[in-house]
Structures are given as C-alpha cells and as structure tokens.
Structure 1
C-alpha cells in the first residue's frame, strides 16, 4: 500500500510540475527577453497590470493595456513611469482578456482574436531565437547571430521616441478623431509631410515650409529623421544633417522626448524623464492649421486657446449644411455652386498642386462636371483652380487675397433661387412651431397626471408592504434615507475600501455608533425585491458574522449599513511585510480561523435554506477591536445582476480562492465555500498569498508546497517564518491538515464547515489527507490560456445568481 501511494504521489508531482510550469511561464513577468514557445492572455498577467516583459533598465514594459472600453485590450510597449504607450500592435483590433499572445517555436509572433490572427510579425522560420525589449523602448526579434529580424521602431504607430529613426516608407498614423478622420505623418519627396487621411489625402503641414527650423541647409533631400536631446533632426540618405527643429529650450541631454500624432491632427511633444511633461511647441503652430479645427465649412479664427468657429457669410442661410448626402448620388441639375464669401483660406492650398489652370468659369464647370467635387478654390492672380472631394474647416485670411471659394450645395438646401426659398420658408416655420406646441402639450398633460396621482393616498396595504414592512418585525435593520447615510458618512468622504459589490465608507450616527456603509453597484432588483432580501440578511445574527444594521432603497440608490469593524480586513494583517506593523501571533490567527469557520458553518447549516457565500477570501473576513473574526458580504450574491456576479471569476485577488467546479460544469454548492476556506486557512498559517511568483518555484504555489511538506513530514515548514512558537503546538499540524482536506479537488472529499470546526477545536480526529492534486488552481489558469475559455461566461457553471441554483439554495434567515 505504501509503495502504491508513493507511486501515486510521484505521478501527482510530475503532473503538477507540468501544470505549474505552464502557469509560471505565463504569469511571471520576464526581464530583458523571452524565448519562443511563450504564450498567454491578458488574464495571465493581471497581477502585473497586463505587462509580461520589461526592459533591463525597467523603464519600458511590453504587454496588454486596457482601452476606453475596459473589456478590450491593446498589445503595447509602454513607458512604465508615465504609463504612456509608445507603440501598439493592434490599435484597430482590440482583443478580450482571454485572447492569446503567441511567440511560437518557429519564431513567429502573433496576436489572436477568437480564432483569427489580428496581428503578426511574419517572422516564422527566419531563425528568430529571442524577443528583446531594449532599454530604448525598441521591441526587437533577434536571431542566433544577434541580427535584428524585426523591430517595432520600423513599424511605428502614432508615436516616435528619442533615437528612433523615422525614414521613407514609414508612416505615423493617429487614432481616429470623433468624425473618424485619421492623420498621417510621412517622409516623401524630400520633405516630412503631415496629411489628413481623406479618400484623397490632403496635406496641411510640412517641415520644409515651417519657418521654425534653426538649421537649414539647402541642396539635399530629406530621407530620415530622429529626435535627439531637445531637437528633431533631418538627414539625407548619407545621414548629412539638413534641418533641425527645436522641441524645447534649454537643452537637456538626459531628456527622452516623444512626438505623438494626436487625433486632433497636432503633433505634441512630451518629456518622459520629467513625468511626461509637455512642450509648448506644437506642429503645426497655427491653432486653425488643422483640418478639424472647426466643423466642415466653418471658418476658424483667433489665437491658440481662444479660437472661434463661425459659418461664412455665403453659407449662413443653410447653417453650413450642403444638403448633399451622397456626392455622386444626385443629378447635375439638383446641385449648384454657392459663393462662400470673401477673406477665406484653406489649409491644404499651400501643399497641393492645382487641378488645372483656367479662368473662373472653367473652374466652376470642372467642379460641376465632377460629381465628387464638393468645393473649389480659384486664385485670380495665378489662375490656379483647386478641387476638393472632401472638405474640412476653412481659415480666416488676414491679408488681401485673390482667392475665391465656392461650395457645392443641393438646390433644395439652397432654396432653388429666391422664389423657391420664399415659398418654402412659411411651411418650415409652421411645421416646426406645430411640433413644439404638441410636445409642450404632452409634457404639460403628463405633469398634471403625475401631480394628480401623487396626491391620491396609497392603500394601507401598499404602504405597509412598501414602506413599513421591516418596522413591524423586531430586530430588523433600520431603514435609512439616502440623506441620512450621506450625512453619517460626511458625504462619503472616508473610503474604507472597494470590492466586487461596491465601495465602503466609514460613517457615524448621531448617537455616536460607528457604521461601515456599502454603496452597492450593479443591483438588478427593484425596491420591493431588494427590501425582501435585506429583510432576510438582516435576520441573520451570529457572533462571527458582520451584522447588518440598516439599509437604504431610495430611487436608484441601494446602500447597506453594517457594524463598523475597527481592525479592518484580515488581508491587511497577514499579507503585511512591513516590519514596523504589528504581527498577528499564532494564537490570534488560530482563533480567527476557528471564528471564520463557525460563521460559515452557521450560513451553511443553521439557516432554513443554506447560504453559500461564493467569495470567501481574506478581504471578506473583518476584525473587531479584539481581533474577533466576522465574515462579511454573505448573501450579497443574489442582490447582484448576473453580469455583476461574474466579478468572482475575473477580478484580481479572487481567482486563487475559486474551487475547481467554478470552471467545470458542476453546480456551485457549500463545498465551494469549503475549498475557498481551505485556501484562506493556508494563507493564515503561512502569512502569504496562495500564489506568490516572488518565491522559489517549489514554494510559489502554497497548496503544492503544503502537500509536498505533508508527504515529507515537515508541516511546520509551512508556518509563517516570522512567527515564534515555543514548543510543539499540535494546532499547527491540525490546521494544515484541515486546510488540505478542504482544498481536495473532489468536492465529495471535502468536509462540511461544521466538521471543520470540530476538527480545529479538537472534537474530531484529523486523519492524513490524501495527496490529491490541488488542480483547481492549475485548471483555472489553463482555462485562461486556452482559446475560448478565458472568461467566466464561456463555460460558466451554475453560479450564486441563477434561478436553478437559487431553487435549491436560498438566502434565508435563521431557524
């Protein structure tokens, strides 16, 4: 029997090592370089803010970062201190937290979205041996000979950084503006040019025409540019300096500048070594010099910070609307050219070639005969005709100009002549006035109905049920108004913490009693249902359960008022490594473990229908003045919406406590709480988190280490090394064995919480737990690194919110 057990343990050890090696490879952040065979999703590195590779100087990181939609992520190189993204792989195709980054054995690097590849370096079978994040912020793929096969500096996104060479064939592209227009920076025809990304690009700035250059050598063609110190330098193909553009004064040799092409069309400069401070220098320097300084056809004027946008006089009758939805979808007879007025200029005129050289009539005829022409500019002095198929904002010309502007407009929008305009006007006014009167009439009638209904007395039954049902029962929580709790918390000024259910604030009632007020978020129930559930939770009284003292259900507000626990949550005491803070002794820790077990046993077995907590972890064990443990947040799962309940499987700090059945299709039961308690008990004993990548590979996963020490007969080694215990305390060995029984992968092997209490208090013997693999944790991580299984909703079991589950396990009061 012993030899068979030893063979089983060796098999378990090999299997666990395989699983844990996958976990470590994909969850521990690497420094300097990673090798082929590396892969994982954003969830693997959530403890490292999504970053899985940092440069040797720790200034730059590579990994996932969130977008404005917090459920979507970009693969980026980021400056660690300022959190500024300097390069992004998939700006147009953000991915979810379960989509995989892969550096495969062939040397190819790719990013998947579902089953599709959204970005790749196309470097397979090219001898790539490592991915290196250099101290400059350049992400490179190197071969065995050290040669660079691919580098991010050669594929910029919207940012250039000091010492990054920007040459012909490269493009900087901004993020789209609110109107979905992007801007493009590139070197071509011997100049650096900034253009608006219309269907026909329209340039609006070039370095060759910027008078701010302080070095200007004629005769060469610019083919390369780079930022060095406080200047942007431009070189020819022989790397001879031709131009220099000063970014900031004075010169700082240690500065690391970045140039960012913004979605507003401006290039801005930021110093990463000065907390990302910005330079006053911008490109272009004219605040009206970009295509979207104002809306299309509006005229921009005024200095920076005080620009004004107004419709030109020639288009004011149509409020600057052309009335043309599809330029080539209307007949020639239904459009005409309207004089936009005098004193106008257009940002692209100094950078584009004329469409033709003709007279004004010929220029008009060219625009009218070209269905895609939306505006034309004619220079009387040069006879140059400019046609544009898309139009941005106009500029106000401050000098006498021979330039005239005409805008193509629909005949309907322009009134079809004076007669048509006069005929149409009264009908428009009549329709508009009638519509406004009808709307005001409906609003007035609704208001009268509401006032009348409000005056009607409610039936006694309804009033009793909706407002006073809790007051009729003794021992029930107090019903507060929102203003009561806002006053008690001094307008929610002292925040104690934030969890999956909402934020918690400290409060004080007029009688001096202290409160912890939780503002619930994501409530999916109406007032009546919420009060019913609060009534159930409020009837639960136990020494080791945090007591609900009151509630608020007013409008959209849902708040719960609990007794205040002076010593806060358990995690602050057992995970604290600050030597100046007091250390919880073994006696206190053991009492906390027993108290927590008693609270859970009451929820599971001393209520009419058992209550499953669903989120046991140190943050939900609170300590009073005397370090008496009390379980908090019980019964809240049913108050949450289904979407909110998924917080248990996605938020950081909770995943290590989830039982294996959370990621299999087994029902969640009280045995899931037992598993979480086992993890909690190990952390209380060890004074550390159950997974700590900072430990050695043997000790990084605490349950694995505990099973190994159990087999070697060294259970004392699991105890927090900071603790001093005189002699042999059998409770240490008892507690470890109880914890290992609780985290058995097979839920049927786990004891009930009542049995746990009996074993801890010495009322029931504790046999040696089987050397079962703690694979719930490994399976959980493997599910996140397998396509299609990264989110809780992909293969979610019955959770604490489903109707099927609640039919068997209800929130209820004591017997």
Structure 2
C-alpha cells in the first residue's frame, strides 16, 4: 500500500505536470535560448492581456499558425500572425524555438524552417523572446534591456494595436503595410492593404492588389485626417505623428487603459476602428472607411455586383457562378465569377436587362446614334460583355466587368445595363426576374402563389369572424391585415384620441380578446397600394425592446392605418411637461434609463438594420413608455411613407421645429446625425423637465439649451441644470455625462456630433466624454439676446439659486462671446 503522504505527493506532481501542457515551465511570458513551444503550450503577457501560441482559424481547415490574440475576452481575436503564408499541419511535432544564433524560428513537422525573425547572428547568450502586455512580441538581450533587436510591431499583419506604428522608412523608401486576411479562415495576405503615402505626405491610402488606390485619409492637420471627420469625436485614442530624418509614422495610445480597442484592415476592404463591449461580448464598430461597402474597389471580383442593402453584399451576375464556391462562402469574393456558358460571338447571343446599375468609373463611351446601334456595336464586338445607353451616350463594357453596383430605385446615377449572355442563359420572359433562371422563376411563382393564397385566407377568415382579428392569433413576427371596419369598431369610431403628430392622429382601441391597441390614421400619403405594403412590411420586421412594435395595418383605398402595441404610461412629454409640480414626476434614475433606452433604439435603427433608418421626428411626443417606464421610440420608418412632402409637414408642425438640425432647416441632405441633433435637444428637456423654447406673455423667448451649454462648457455645477422638482436628487456623475452628451449632440456641424452607438456607450460608462464647446448657433442667440431670457418662474429655493446663477451667466455671456476651441468629446 502506498503511504498517504506519498500519494498526495504523486498527485501534486501529476497536476503540476499537467499544468505544463498549457503554460511553459520557463516563464509565463518568455521563451529563452534553446527553449521551444509546441502543441497547446502558450506564453501569456505579464498582466494577462495577450497570449501567443498555435491557433487554427476556423473549422474547415487543418492549417495551424503561430499568432497573438487577446487573452481576457471571450471571443478569440487574432491580432498578429507569424507564418501567414506557410501554415503547419501538426502542432505537436512543430515548434516555435529560440535558436542559439538569436533568431526565433518556426519549424514544421519535418523540422523545416517555415518562418524566422531573420536577424543577423548574435553571440549573446542572454537573448530572450518576450510577449509584452501591449501585444508586441520582442527579442531583447536580457530581461532588463529596453532595446529590442526585433519586434512584431515592426511587422504588422492585419491589426494595428495601440503603441504600434505604420511607418515610412526614408532611408529605404519602403512602407509598413497593414494587410487584410485572405478570408476569415485564411490569414494569408489578402488583396487589401493600408499604408502611409510613399511620396512622403501625412496621409494613408487603402490599396487593392497593392496597386489601385481607392481611398485616402486626407492629410493630417494636427488633430484629425482631413477626410475622416469621425475622428473629431474620437475620445478613445490619442494620435501622434512623428517625422524625423529616418522615418515618418503615426502611433496612438488609448486614453483609458481599461478599454480594449484596435484598428483592423478587414477582409471587407474597409479599415475599421473597433472596441470591445464586455457586456454584450462583441466588438463594437466605432467607424469604418470607406463608409459604404460598395465603395471598396472591386470588392466582389469580376462579373459580379455589389449591393450595400443586401447580405451578402456580392452576387454573381446572371449566367455566372462563383469561381470558387468555398472562397465565396467565406466572404472572399476576390476571384469573382465565371460564365456558365461561353458566348458564341454571333447573333445567337442575347442581352438581359439589369435595371438600376451604377457603372464603374472609366467606362468608355461611343458616339452612336440610337439604342439599337449601341446594341449592335456590343453584339458585333466579341470583347463586349455588356452595354448601357443613357442620355444619348452608348457605354461599351469590354473584358472583365469590375465594380458594378446595384443601387436603389430612383437614384439618378442608375442606368439600365444590358448584359450579354449565351441564349441558353437568358431567362424566358415568363420568369420575370432579372437575375433568376427559369427554375428559380418557377419556384418564385409557386412561393408567391402560396403567400397570396394564405393572405386571401386570412382576409376571408377575418370577415367570417365578424371583423375581430386578435393579436394572439397572429403568427409570430408577421403583420395582421385589418379591415377598416375592424378598426372602426375597435376604436369606437376613433372616439378616444391619444395624440397627434406629423404623420396623423393616434386613437386607443380594444380588440375582442381585450388586447388594447393604438391605431394611427396616416395622413398625407400618396403611395400606391403595393409600395405602401412593401414599406409597412419592412417596418414590421424591425423589432427592438426600445422600439414600439408594429402589429398590423389597414390599406383600403385612401384609408391607411397602422396598429401598434398600446403603451399604458403614454408619451414622455406628458410626464415632463403636463403634470403638476409634484405628481407624475419621474425621478432621475428613471430619466437616465429612458435616455439610454431611446439612444439604444435609435442606434438600432441607424446601425443595426439592413438599411439605415432615419427617424426624422425625434421629440418627447414620439417617445412612449410602457408599464415599467421602458422607453419606446414610436413613428420610426414613417418618414419614407410620407415621402417628399414630409419636410413640409414636419417643419410646419407646432413644437417640432425646435428639434430640427441646422442642415435640415437650410435645405441640405440629412443623415442619421439629424436624429442625433433632435435627441440632444430632447435630452436637455429630459434633464431640465421643461421645454427648450418657451414664450412668455411679454413676448420674450426662453431658450434653455443656450444657458445650459454655457454652464457645461465652463464646468459649472450641473445640478443647476436639473429639473428643480427633483430637488437635486440625482447621481452627479450621470447628470454630468448626460449634460455633456446633450451638448455634443447639438453641435452645428454634424461631423462633430457623436453617433447614437457612441451615445449608448457613453451612457453605459464604456466611453468617457470630454467637456463640449458651445455650439456657434447658440452663441449667436446669446450675442443677439435682447429678447431672450434664460429661465422661467419656479417656486423652490433650488430653482431660485439656479435662476440667479443663470442670470449672471447670461449677462456675462452677452458681454463676452465664447469661442469654440474643442472638437473632441
């Protein structure tokens, strides 16, 4: 029998040996001379930020690589790869080894060197390889040396980490490149790369295939790259530009060391700035360039189309198929597509019309007199693969078709493209699809018939059941088609009005199963039946906890109605403005959660939907509250239903004009940042519990954001901005955060405003927010403030003190204009 003490000793020894299979015995972050790493062994940086070892990029490959990845996050994210082009197949017989000559090398299962640091031989016996806490793998001469003989930061792959650099060597006239992976399961160098201008200017280029420049950052002006205005909102990174006799380069650090963030040259052909969100276990996109996917040069390869509104973005042209199905499925579209059937180069070939196509730049034009002549010119040219005829111009597309884009209907840049195909690949007229095959058309027709039949059955069942559809009978995720008579009965002939807005009036109703609903009678629509149903179907698929859910619709002639879930707490404006002094007042904690919920809902509309949805009418009246005071954004997606008349409707609505962004009022095209402006104006109202703009009996106008922005800019006590009815009961840190966000959101120039995704991160405490400048438009109000007052009557001591402070602030501000010097939140 083995003595008990010996048994414990053997067990401890076994466990100790087992632990060596994961981490090397010679040090957590170091490989010393003569030592090696193989199998599942790894080294980990001293603070546990990064790990180095063998990894396999995906499940469909047996290739292994040496790489560095984040240690502390749940999603394995590779930031550097050693042997990108030379994988190994057996990690247990392969080894990463530090040789006596000072080189770190990777030896495969046949003991053949597949990667090396390629240093000149050294005689030092104290050299070591160390993984630093910033993700940099270095070779140094002993643990106390600060001089690196080699470092991975000098050989970046696809990720640019804080502390790293992308440089231009002036002595050798070479540049470091950030190069994308070939696909998500192949880290070999892809076709997209980022580099500093070899000519010596302070701008970066993104290149396709190492030669075609399709994006530039613009030059550095000391704060931002001129063509990346998003950097004005950059409160994560601190950039530095170094320019000396040997090299020029950019480097950056992270203001908050607890934030995990990185730049990536992605397989999409976009350079992306991402930060890790621990709560949702995902990488959050801060910005990307180029802004839209189809701006990437030749993203989809030859004989394919790119569509920003669809997933996947790339699709082969009709009559073509992927050159590599495996690569295509891995989102590597670089090899493009190939013809299914070769052309005969005679009159047996034909053309398939593809509407709404954007032609690549540089397309040659012919001076032909008619569409028929243009068609004949392409048909008789064996090198012509397509043609387009528009505005008297004939465009002949010869050779490989690159960078074709499918655009939205109504876009003036779209033309009809006539694709030359073998006769057997041209769909029959009955197929009705510009991209379909006869078989696909038949399947589509069958599917359409089934859907139509089902829709008719629902209508018949509705009539037989006495016009009393119930939400409980609806298929999850589908919309119920109501009859007008149904909703007339449910709302008691629209007798109980809940409110009204730019799109129409809302009435309370009750279905036969006692479900309470809100019915909106739409006004000002001029769409046809088909277009209306299409838009409503799109709105119906959008679901988020902070968006009011659309349950059904009615479309009978000119009668257009939408059916929503009923929100028992009503709209936000009632609780902010219409209660008496102390009843129906929501506390600060609830207000903060409401502001956060609204931001999440808008961020979803702007950033998570297939198409960015701009709300266009954010105000307290369009924020509804459920029984638990959870905020729900209402009326999203309706601006598109009203169409061109919406601007007129919106700007004439009472109480709405104060929320409109300056660019909208001036007639410029709007973006999602218009919603951000409206959100900022509304956030001031949530904080203060009062309308931003009010007129007194003597005709003077009180414009609260002017005073509030000035207070925030000067770092004054934010409790003076808080709703006096809360008597100062608020978390000061949260209040400061909300006040700063509000002021950043109402900046005059949209590029200075944060995105709603960034607003969410600030409210969640993920990102810090700097003191904002006072928007110039608000300063003008102050400078011309003869008829402007900055506070209204209140009855509390707290309010009296705040009013005194405001009056003093107003007089000081009127005598001295404040200039905006900051541009980063």
| TM-score of the aligned structures, taking structure 2 as reference length | 0.37
Higher radius of gyration, 1 or 2? 1
Comparing both chains, which one has the higher relative contact order based on Cα–Cα distances under 8 Å and sequence gaps of 6 or more?
A: 1
